[in-house]
Amino acid sequence: MKMAVIGAGSWGTTVAALAARRQPVTLWARRPELVDAINGGENPDYLAGFRLPYGLRASTDLEHAASGAETIVMAVPSHGYRTVLSDLAPFIPEATPILSLTKGIEQDSLKRMSEVTSEVLPSHDAATIGVLTGPNLAREIMQGQPAATVIAMENQEVASRLQEAFMDPTFRVYTNQDVVGAETAGALKNVMAIAAGMARGLGLGDNTLAALITRAIAELTRLGEALGGDPTTFAGLAGVGDLIATCMSSQSRNHRVGVELAGGRVLEEIIEEMNMVAEGVKTTRAVLDLANRVAVEVPIAQQVGKVLYESAHPREAVLALMTRRAKPEA
């Protein structure tokens, strides 16, 4: 089964490398110099020091990348997803499954990536459009450390085929049918990771982080259910699993943004220095808009928004959360 992975960041390259152990994979990248490096066996910009498998080839040509591919994997940031997929659309046969790795929400439309995909590819069967998500830090997976993920897709026959394509002795793949829940969890956890990073950056301890993560799970579940997600999804790899990894790890880009903000850095400087996209910075506004649309309280996301967009200090945000009206745990 030939596969095309569109987007050569750290996660796109990692997923392409996993798949290339079992089938030929073409990885699309924008820049010719990065393509040359990948074809030489390494992605120096995003995964320096890791050798890539021989079955992985890179190209700057979308048509070439998609040619003969039986699965398209989208690994571009949410803000560029629609544009890249629109450029790719003429080269994708209608029966080709589309799997998104993107953990974000489109800013203007407030749509999840599967919804964007269905709009760009209206003739595609929505049941074969899905998402791969979970607690997946790219460098650890490239090191061969054990990890697990989930493919959410309505068509379980196709999902099972994709499960086999990515399964590896150190990378366990599960499936479920809750695309809404999996995508919502993946987007919101990035916002929560910024909050966790701010707590760490302020020098707060494990009690604080445990309380934050626990309340983040409640917040994520409330919003996800209101948007149509299955509550069990938020207790699984796409929800709690991804949330813990992203909130606890210094490898997380969103966590790093929070740490830097707590240290007094200006957001624009932090973003400019980063070589990769921190989806939570853009997603926070979309999450707040979605929560407002369905009348769901998201206090952690609200405080992250105040820090990101209203220049509030992270310490003020923590105080605001701790002094909210007393209520039962729910």
Q: Which residues carry out catalysis? A: 189
Tokens 């070589």, residue located: 275
What's the per-residue H, E or C state across the chain? CCEEEECCCHHHHHHHHHHCCCCCEEEECCCHHHHHHHHCCCCCCCCCCCCCCCCEEEECCHHHHHCCCCEEEECCCHHHHHHHHHHHHHHCCCCCCEEECCCCCCCCCCCCHHHHHHHHCCCCCHHHEEEEECCCCHHHHHCCCCEEEEEECCCHHHHHHHHHHHCECCEEEEEECCHHHHHHHHHHHHHHHHHHHHHHHCCCCHHHHHHHHHHHHHHHHHHHHHCCCCHHHHHCHHHHHHHHHHHHCCCCHHHHHHHHHHCCCCHHHHHHHCCCCCHHHHHHHHHHHHHHHCCCCCHHHHHHHHHHHHCCCHHHHHHHHHCCCCCCCC
* CA–CA separation, 305 and 287 (whole Å): 10
207 Rama sector, left if φ>0, alpha if ψ -120 to 50, beta otherwise: alpha
- Could you tell me the CA-to-CA distances from 77 to 25, 81, 168, 214 in Å, in that order? 20, 6, 26, 27
* CA–CA separation, 74 and 69 (whole Å): 13
